[in-house]
Amino acid sequence: MLQSTTGSLVVDVARSNVPDREHGRLFKSNSDGTYFSRQLDDTNRNEQQLVDWEKIGGIDGVILVNQVTNRLTLAKDGEKHIRSLISFNDGGSWNPIRAPTGSNCNDDECHLHLHSVTDSTGPGAVFSASSAVGLVMGVGNVGKTLLPLKDCQTYLSRDAGKTWTKVSESRNLYEFGDEGGVIVRVDPSAPTREAFFSYDFGTTWNKAEFAASPVEVATVTTESTSRTSKITITGKYTSGDQQPIISTLDFSARRTCVMKKNDLEKNDFEKWSPFAGEDDRCILGRDVRCLREFAGHTW
């Protein structure tokens, strides 16, 4: 059973549980759960029965999924070839994820692929929070199929997965705070005492020291709704007796956003739509428009 908020049940049925060849088939029910229709074949699973299925928080109908593209030749290939797909109509249709502008690749292979929940050694789920409307972060690569984590970079979308930007050349751990008003990321590939934070949806980044000496970072986390301004980093020091560390970055001193009553004043919030500027502005038959913090602030 997979996450859904549109009045239907979503089920992924295993088609193979052979180690390293696990894959499934995705079904979605009608409104009362009495009839199921097939949505997608060859969904990527693992032996723990986790499925690479990601519902984007805050906006109904936007879903990311990973698909095995070489099911028929898995025995010969020896490993899965995986690609990422996105839907903006709750699984009615699926398309490759658009690569960031300027990506150096052939047109037929220029798509973004992201690691998801089946990779226990990675960052976990492609991160989105219902309180950080439209913001999505993930670790992956541009190309034909998904590469190992060591060859991946970190990407950010500000428009619910429609367009993406590379924010780091390596895989990062990351977290949203203050409803997306602050984003924190840390590179765990080598010991570090520095984190990077952004107040403008990842357009610019600043450094913050969270430890006196280098740390092997284990997690970057906050409370589940991402509404707090405090981000916690855990790990262990690399020197001495390698004591564990729990460090909290507190961004609560940042000015609180307010909604101005006078339309002539500059507002702290902006009206935003994931399909602004396109002919089809509807998601599931609705014209979706949101209020979120204005990204052009200078704090």
**Residue 71: per-residue pLDDT:** 94
Query: DSSP code of 77?
Result: H
Residues in the chain: 299
Tokens of 167: 């924010």
Distance CA 18, CA 15 (A): 9
Local structure of 93: helix, strand or coil: coil
Q: Are strands 165-168 and 173-177 parallel, antiparallel or unpaired?
A: unpaired
Ranges in the chain, pLDDT < 70 = 5-6, 120-124, 254-269, 274-286, 288, 291, 293-299
SS3 173: strand
Write out the DSSP string of 117-141.
TT-TTTT-SPEE-TTSTT-EEEEEE
How many whole angstroms separate alpha carbon 232 and alpha carbon 242?
A: 19
- pLDDT computed for residue 65 by the predictor: 96
85/114 Cα distance (integer angstroms): 9
What is the pLDDT at residue 264?
45
Q: Rounded distance, CA 232 to CA 184, Å?
A: 10
Q: Are 62 and 161 in contact (CB under 8 A)?
A: yes
Q: Which amino acid is present at 288?
A: V
Start-end of H helices in 12-146: 74-77
pLDDT of residue 61: 84
pLDDT of residue 133: 81
The predicted pLDDT at position 3 comes to 81
For residue 252, count CB atoms less than 10 angstroms from its CB and return exposed for 0-12, middle for 13-18, buried for 19 or more: exposed
pLDDT at 299: 38
Backbone angles phi, psi at 149, to 5 degrees: -55, -35
